Structure 1
Amino acid sequence: MANRYLHNVQGLFDTIAPNYDRMNNIISLGTHRHWRAQTMTKIHLQPDAHALDLCCGTGDWTIAVAQILSDRGEVIGFDFSAPMLKIAQQKVDQAQLHDRVWLRRGNAMHLPFKDNTFDLVTIGFGLRNLPDKPRALAEIFRVLKPGAQLVCLETSQPDQPLIKPVWQWYFTKVVPFFGRLFAHQYQEYSYLQETTRHFASYQQLVTLFEQAGFDQVHYQRFNFGAAAAHFGTKPTTVIAHD
């Protein structure tokens, strides 16, 4: 069932890839760039660090991480959609970062990397689309070095009484309409708004991080809670449980 779900979601992202960046700008009114920029201010890496950007899509966050590294560091952008990765590669080439960015296609719930490999893992607007989120977080935990950090940027749900109904109206009515108007993809953007509405709350995501073994879990919310960045650190000493 999970494989079929993932295959269907992959097909959806393959379809929307040509319009993905433009639609993100339209749907978020451009604020997704601000969310990522604010999140990046919380990330501190050595110039020679090794990072992994999961569900990298068209590569914007992959490139942002690469830009704070030297040519001795590297970022792997990892995604299951070949059309998304094709666009990402074009951006990497344009930014002249091919000496520190590598793009790979694969399944975020079965990472082809050794334990304790990365100094940072980022995942932006991708966790909500994975059918087994605890499995994905367990894989991220496995490939992070002890003391390294996971940073997850996701859409979220406002909980203020005056804001919440406006947010629900926007995502249930306006987002699919924008998908039809600007990309002729009503069904695809209807699905995406559903994943946003039904994704874990920011409090529930803290619990998922902690259950995966992360310490120092905290978050920053944006736009009255429309998005949130979550941070978690892999302990330097991992206690084995029977």
Structure 2
Amino acid sequence: MDAESKQSHVHAVFESIAPKYDMMNDVLSFRRHKAWRKFTMRKMNVQPGQSSLDLCCGTCDWTIALARESRGGRTVGLDFSRNMLDIGQAKVDKLDLGGTIELIQGNAMSLPFPDNTFDFVTIGFGLRNVPDYERVIREMRRVVKPGGKVVCLELSKPTWQPFKALYYFYFEKLLPLLGKWLVKRYEQYRWLPESLASFPDLQALAEMFRTTGLRNVRAYPLTGGVAALHIGTKGNDGA
């Protein structure tokens, strides 16, 4: 699938699954995605007043967590799916965070922000869906401030047997069927294992972070390697 086709396909997938996205995340990850996000927030150590940009923000759970930790710092969520953003905006409004969180429809590969704007730039379960992984990481690095952090929380590839075999059986065979049975979306949930097939593993993604110029890159496997957290820092000199 070429870059343009992938972008169109992914957009259609997420526009379609938006109404049931949160429920299916809980079911398909056995609610582990919440624990992974909490672990990530501890590692980030967001301070009051710090600013964050959350890419592929979806229905805004991570965006909201960032806003709460920053206690009034600027928080922006960006996603290309209008349907996902509408659900996220409803959550933001319900929590009365509209004055703190700004949601923007946009493209992660071409961010509408100046260089050196945010203390943190995050992407959660979205990098594997973009046409060009390295381009997005370079854009994240561009808009983060010197000394700021680029953070990616994403599905990954376990290596330990027999867990690896069990995981791939679930992910490739059972997960699309759950999508079909629970929300009548077989083809959309078949995309999830397909999107991971060509995605870099833990070490390869860490090396991609380094290739883009990020420093002090840390990679953490989560739940046996089912997911991974990557954090890189932009040099204080901006290089």
2:77 is aligned with what amino acid?
G
User: What is the aligned partner in structure 1 of residue 49 from structure 2?
Assistant: 48
User: What is the aligned partner in structure 2 of residue 96 from structure 1?
Assistant: 96
User: What is the aligned partner in structure 2 of residue 10 from structure 1?
Assistant: 11
**Structural RMSD (CA):** 1.0
Q: Give the whole-Å Cα distance in 2 for the aligned partners of 1:223 and 1:198.
A: 21
Does residue 25 (structure 1) correspond to residue 26 (structure 2)? The answer is yes
User: What is the aligned partner in structure 2 of residue 78 from structure 1?
Assistant: 78
8 Å Cα contact 2:80-2:106 kept in structure 1 = yes
TM-score (norm 2): 0.97
User: What is the aligned partner in structure 1 of residue 237 from structure 2?
Assistant: 237
Q: Give the whole-Å Cα distance in 2 for the aligned partners of 1:178 and 1:198.
A: 23
Does residue 193 (structure 1) correspond to residue 190 (structure 2)? The answer is no
TM-score (norm 1): 0.96
User: What is the aligned partner in structure 2 of residue 181 from structure 1?
Assistant: 181
Percent pairwise identity:
44
Report which stretch shifted further, 132-141 or 2-11. 2-11
1:88 is aligned with what amino acid?
G
Q: Give the whole-Å Cα distance in 2 for the aligned partners of 1:95 and 1:193.
A: 34
Alpha-carbon offset, residue 192 of structure 1? 1.3
User: What is the aligned partner in structure 2 of residue 210 from structure 1?
Assistant: 210
The correspondence of residues 161-180 of structure 1 with structure 2, limited to 5 A, is 161-180=161-180
Q: Spell out, residue by residue over 1:62-88, the C-alpha distance to the aligned partner (whole angstroms, 9 max, x if none).
A: 0010111222x1110000000000000
The correspondence of residues 60-139 of structure 1 with structure 2, limited to 5 A, is 60-71=61-72, 73-139=73-139
2:26 is aligned with what amino acid?
N
Alpha-carbon offset, residue 47 of structure 1? 1.3
Alpha-carbon offset, residue 49 of structure 1? 1.4
1:13 is aligned with what amino acid?
F
2:154 is aligned with what amino acid?
E
User: What is the aligned partner in structure 1 of residue 38 from structure 2?
Assistant: 37
Q: Give the whole-Å Cα distance in 2 for the aligned partners of 1:196 and 1:61.
A: 21
Alpha-carbon offset, residue 3 of structure 1? 2.9
8 Å Cα contact 2:46-2:66 kept in structure 1 = no
Partner of 1:65, secondary structure, is helix
Alpha-carbon offset, residue 230 of structure 1? 0.5
Report which stretch shifted further, 197-206 or 108-117. 197-206
Partner of 1:149, secondary structure, is strand
Gap regions ≥5 residues in structure 1: none
Alpha-carbon offset, residue 238 of structure 1? 4.2
User: What is the aligned partner in structure 2 of residue 224 from structure 1?
Assistant: 224
Report which stretch shifted further, 55-64 or 191-200. 191-200
Equivalent residue pairs, number:
238
Q: Give the whole-Å Cα distance in 1 for the aligned partners of 2:162 and 2:8.
A: 38
Partner of 1:120, secondary structure, is strand
Partner of 1:209, secondary structure, is helix
Q: Give the whole-Å Cα distance in 1 for the aligned partners of 2:233 and 2:138.
A: 13
